[in-house]
Structure 1
Amino acid sequence: MTAMRVIYAWVIDLRTDEAYYWTWSKENVLSFLDHPPMIAWFIRFGTAIFGDINFGVRFAGILAMLVTQLLLADIVRRVTHDVRAIVLAVLMPEAALYYGLLMAKVSPDVAMIPFAVAMLWALVRLAESGNACWWLAAGLFAGLALLSKFTAFMLVPAVLAFMLVPDWRRRWLTSVWPWLAALIAVAVFLPALIWNGEHDWASFRFQSVRAIAVHEFSLRTVGEFLGLQFGLVGFVMLPVVLSGAGWMAWRGYRRREPVAILLSTSVLAPFGYFFWKSMTLRIGDTWPMFLWPAGFAGAAINTTMLAREKGSAWTVRSTITWANIAVVTGIAFVVLVFLYYTVMPWNLIGRIDPIGAEAGYQEVAEGAEAELHKIGATWIATTDYRTYAMMRWYFNGRVPVIQINERGRFMGFRDPGMDRIRGHAGIYVARLPDSDNPIWLATTAVREPLGRVERVWRGRVMDTYSLQKVTGWTPELSPPPDSPLFRWRVLAGEFEPPSQGKLFSFAG
């Protein structure tokens, strides 16, 4: 399965979000508007070894999956000492599409998952040994998880329940160790805090919109959330994992077992929050992905503990049978998806295909490069971060690429080559029908149509892009915060709608 992910990472075109994070890896800043910096560090690590190729960008995701599996195996080993449960804990993520295949594609979630699981592992070691020093390791991994993605904060209820519900609560309430762990986590998280302090807490304001926004109740967004989780975790695996978390919660809170409380709450508390928010908000595809590894460990542990606790024979048999079915059918599904995208030549889903919807940008880059040479232009302009990221990926420094708006996304970024831009014509690359973005009215630029280029995947036109000549204006890299060229797209009460083909996307 690892070899399969390696092949997938080599041959599948980079997605727009991956290219966007790759652009971060080329900058020397402490943090970024959208997310903390860990994903940029992951990508820089991979490209330092393999260069700016698909596999280099995705290499750290391959390692993240293996580290996650090893940690899950050790958690289950320490709790059950049962080889079958350990094997099940390793195979369960392989049988979930997101982990078994799509962790080969980097995102902040991929960076966060191994650190979140490592924090749980450290707390399991604490419960096993009673050695308070494991609090310090947990604090380190918690800080690294937060430095990967802010949603790691949603594991705090599980840690608090682990500390306060069992009979040892008085020991930890009066102990300095948990507070030292919290200090370590904050210290590790300092790069993001310092950057935000210098930029008016931009990341927290950017992300808090989703958390506090109020919208009307919608069954559609609930259905999307549950449908995506069934697809990414598994149509059989998801019920198995949720039922395992339920059993663990029943056992843990009834008997005050620290590990059972920790693992079950790590799943049920965030899942409950996301389900509640899905009633009024579209939940991102990968937002809940950090919680399911704890569910895999809990489900594997549950298959052993039910038998040891002399549960009913039917319950024990049913639990083991459905876990086995989930693994077998899940791995088969993951392999089929892998074969569809790497071997089969057909486009069976049309324009909503999650991979095809973001493939074929090389044709757009080649069309833009041809026009650059034809008219003597020296730079490329875009008005959305996806096109910006893909143009930067394909040109890779040969031509300056500027997203002229949403400059708040690029605070602290280096000069892309203004000496090659100032006084020269550029080419505006934009997906139709967004080519007439009203943001141009805030500039003195003169635009002239040049032509169009199609983005094609497996014989199907996925999108059409307009190419326009731009003269009479030089982009402003650092406009004032009140400028329409500075503001990022997601503002209070305003959400970026999914672009065409993104409804069933696996992007973050």
Structure 2
Amino acid sequence: MAALIIAAMTVLRIVYASALELRTDEAYYWTWSKETALSFLDHPPMIAWFIRFGTAIFGDTALGVRFGGILAMLVTQLLLADIVRRVTRDARVVVLAVLMPEAALYYGLLMAKVAPDVAMIPFAVAMMWALVRLAQSGDGRWWLAAGLFAGLSLLSKFTAIMFAPAVAVFLLVPDWRWRWLRSPYPYLAVVVAIVVFSPVLIWNAQHDWASFRFQGVRATANYGVSLRTIGDYIGLQFGLVGFVMLPVVLSALVMTAWRGYRTREPVAILLSTAVLVPFLYFFAKSLTLRVGDTWPMFMWPVGFAAAAINLTMMPRENWSTRMIRSSVVWANTAVVSGLAFVVIVFLYYVAAPWNFLGKIDPVGAEAGYDKVAARAQAALDEAGATWIATTDYRTYAMMRWLFRGRVPVIEINERGRFQEFANPGMDRIKGHAGIYVGREPDNRAPVWDAIPAKREQFGQVERRWRGVLTDTYVLEKLTGWSPQLSPPKDSPLFQWRVLAGEFEKRVSA
């Protein structure tokens, strides 16, 4: 039955990945997959490699872009199954561990959505798996495997560093600490992780440590205490993990932490700390900043493993029969209700004609770019223009995705995002008219003061999803100017530092 459920949910994710148009960030990461840069301003390069793998099989299609996430989900489930099997030797909780992600919206459906977190999750779980193998075998060579997977996790997203406290207490709290502190293996594991992560370090050393400074703006942003951002964080965890699943997992993690630190049991210490520390950190950040929907998602699969293992530990610790039965009932309820919720959300986006959430719908808010691209094509033909200009990376990414190389597309500002990108075809741009495509009021942004182009109004187009207006776009003809691909770092056309801060302010607002 579990195998049938996983197969059915995998098909559901494939249909979802094929049917829905790309969201803006997904298209943005797709543009990375077309480049040969070692790393990128926003994130490390792993997600670009995932996309390149998928599009090599299925071409530049929505399924091709998203295929890596579908595969990552299956790999994550296999690793969770082996972790729980090795710790418990109980097939029933192994089944529970692999069904829990299926019953959580983020994993059961949205692992088909491309994001750096999707690339990081299987490597992060693999690191935990290697450390569980270490705890059971005592073989120090598993430290090296853990270092490899840690490096691959960091090569996917910087938030993988938030597992460091769990690894530290796993090393230092159990009775084995002096054995491993005297051993070369933990230190060699750090070296392995750094070597694997080195493409990001090399790229940043060559570009003024741009990625770390860019992400530092997010990590240190503070806009005052807000009950709204706290509510957003907690609400997102309930929605993406599960309204029943979240309390089931959190309560199991607290019990696992109590058991682990009381008895100095390495695996319990590792699994509980790996989730509770990031969860509390993001809660603290949510006091003053909106926590992104994907930011905490790397940690919950470890929580699913801990929750499944906890059910086998409770009888051994002489918990009451009533408490054990209640825990099993709630865990089963979390899976059944979660699976139903995931299927309902799938049907809403794939089959239903309604928009219940209006402008705040996370998919609808980024849909409808095909009509913008069609109007841009008409403007190109009418004006005799040969290239498209934008002033935000979302529009840039969607225009590149929808035109598929037929027309050069350039974001004329924020050029710090595009360091080491290939020349988009300046021979088709220089000396030719272009069409600017931008959201209102971006066409009146101060950045235009630094652009000496002649601008001619060329109409508007609305972006809608299921009848709801999301944005209005202005189209203008640009003449007498060619964009700079590599402006000076003090140019307003380069300013990623300022724009990174503006992004956080806009998200918080």
TM-score interval (norm. to shorter): over 0.9
1:268 matched to 2:276? The reply is: yes
2:3 maps to none
The C-alpha deviation readout for 1:293-348, integer Å capped at 9, x for no partner, is 11000000011110222211122112111111111111100000000011111112
1:101 matched to 2:109? The reply is: yes
Whether the 8 Å CA contact 1:19–1:393 is kept in 2: the answer is yes
Secondary structure of 1:209's aligned partner: helix
Give the whole-Å Cα distance in 2 for the aligned partners of 1:199 and 1:427: 31
CA shift at 1:498, angstroms? 4.3
1:506 maps to none
Whether the 8 Å CA contact 1:209–1:491 is kept in 2: the answer is no
1:327 matched to 2:360? The reply is: no
Give the whole-Å Cα distance in 1 for the aligned partners of 2:398 and 2:111: 20
1:244 matched to 2:257? The reply is: no
1:41 matched to 2:79? The reply is: no
Give the whole-Å Cα distance in 1 for the aligned partners of 2:448 and 2:328: 61
2:219 maps to 211
Residue identity matched to 1:360: G
Give the whole-Å Cα distance in 2 for the aligned partners of 1:491 and 1:471: 26
1:445 matched to 2:453? The reply is: yes
CA shift at 1:384, angstroms? 0.2
Give the whole-Å Cα distance in 2 for the aligned partners of 1:341 and 1:25: 27
2:6 maps to none
1:19 maps to 27
Give the whole-Å Cα distance in 2 for the aligned partners of 1:99 and 1:414: 34
Give the whole-Å Cα distance in 2 for the aligned partners of 1:167 and 1:22: 47
Whether the 8 Å CA contact 1:206–1:490 is kept in 2: the answer is no
Whether the 8 Å CA contact 1:44–1:57 is kept in 2: the answer is yes
137 and 268 in structure 1: CA distance in 2 versus 1, 3 angstrom threshold: same
2:465 maps to 457
The C-alpha deviation readout for 1:118-152, integer Å capped at 9, x for no partner, is 00000000111111111110000000000000000
Secondary structure of 1:190's aligned partner: helix
Whether the 8 Å CA contact 1:383–1:437 is kept in 2: the answer is no
CA shift at 1:215, angstroms? 3.1
491 and 425 in structure 1: CA distance in 2 versus 1, 3 angstrom threshold: closer
Give the whole-Å Cα distance in 2 for the aligned partners of 1:326 and 1:273: 25
Residue identity matched to 2:469: V
5+ residue gaps, structure 2, are: 1-8
Whether the 8 Å CA contact 1:9–1:58 is kept in 2: the answer is yes
2:301 maps to 293
Instruction: Name the structure with the higher helix share.
Output: 2
Give the whole-Å Cα distance in 2 for the aligned partners of 1:352 and 1:273: 26
CA shift at 1:490, angstroms? 4.7
Whether the 8 Å CA contact 1:392–1:401 is kept in 2: the answer is yes
Whether the 8 Å CA contact 1:406–1:489 is kept in 2: the answer is no
Give the whole-Å Cα distance in 1 for the aligned partners of 2:176 and 2:46: 34
1:128 matched to 2:147? The reply is: no
1:312 matched to 2:320? The reply is: yes
1:148 matched to 2:156? The reply is: yes
Name the % identity: 72
1:119 matched to 2:141? The reply is: no
2:203 maps to 195
Secondary structure of 2:60's aligned partner: coil
Residue identity matched to 1:118: A
Secondary structure of 1:455's aligned partner: strand
5+ residue gaps, structure 1, are: 504-508
CA shift at 1:491, angstroms? 5.4
Aligned residues: 501
Give the whole-Å Cα distance in 2 for the aligned partners of 1:376 and 1:111: 42
1:374 corresponds to which of 373, 378, 382 = 382
487 and 493 in structure 1: CA distance in 2 versus 1, 3 angstrom threshold: closer
Residue identity matched to 2:364: G
Give the whole-Å Cα distance in 1 for the aligned partners of 2:373 and 2:462: 11
CA shift at 1:461, angstroms? 2.4
Residue identity matched to 1:418: M
Give the whole-Å Cα distance in 1 for the aligned partners of 2:331 and 2:497: 43
Whether the 8 Å CA contact 2:38–2:45 is kept in 1: the answer is yes
CA shift at 1:493, angstroms? 5.7
Residue identity matched to 2:437: V
Whether the 8 Å CA contact 2:119–2:156 is kept in 1: the answer is yes
Matches for 1:50-65 after TM superposition, within 5 Å? 50-65=58-73
CA shift at 1:381, angstroms? 0.4
CA shift at 1:468, angstroms? 0.6
Give the whole-Å Cα distance in 1 for the aligned partners of 2:501 and 2:200: 25
CA shift at 1:216, angstroms? 1.4
2:5 maps to none
430 and 475 in structure 1: CA distance in 2 versus 1, 3 angstrom threshold: same
CA shift at 1:481, angstroms? 0.5
Secondary structure of 1:166's aligned partner: coil
Give the whole-Å Cα distance in 2 for the aligned partners of 1:204 and 1:497: 19
CA shift at 1:209, angstroms? 1.3
Whether the 8 Å CA contact 1:380–1:427 is kept in 2: the answer is yes
Residue identity matched to 2:70: I
Secondary structure of 2:443's aligned partner: helix
Give the whole-Å Cα distance in 2 for the aligned partners of 1:143 and 1:43: 19
Give the whole-Å Cα distance in 2 for the aligned partners of 1:29 and 1:392: 18
215 and 268 in structure 1: CA distance in 2 versus 1, 3 angstrom threshold: same
In the superposition, the TM-score normalised over structure 1's length comes to: 0.97
Whether the 8 Å CA contact 1:448–1:468 is kept in 2: the answer is yes
1:383 corresponds to which of 388, 391, 396 = 391
Give the whole-Å Cα distance in 1 for the aligned partners of 2:506 and 2:431: 36
Secondary structure of 1:189's aligned partner: helix
Whether the 8 Å CA contact 2:414–2:499 is kept in 1: the answer is no
492 and 384 in structure 1: CA distance in 2 versus 1, 3 angstrom threshold: closer
The C-alpha deviation readout for 1:438-475, integer Å capped at 9, x for no partner, is 21110111111111111121222222211111111100
1:2 corresponds to which of 10, 15, 30 = 10
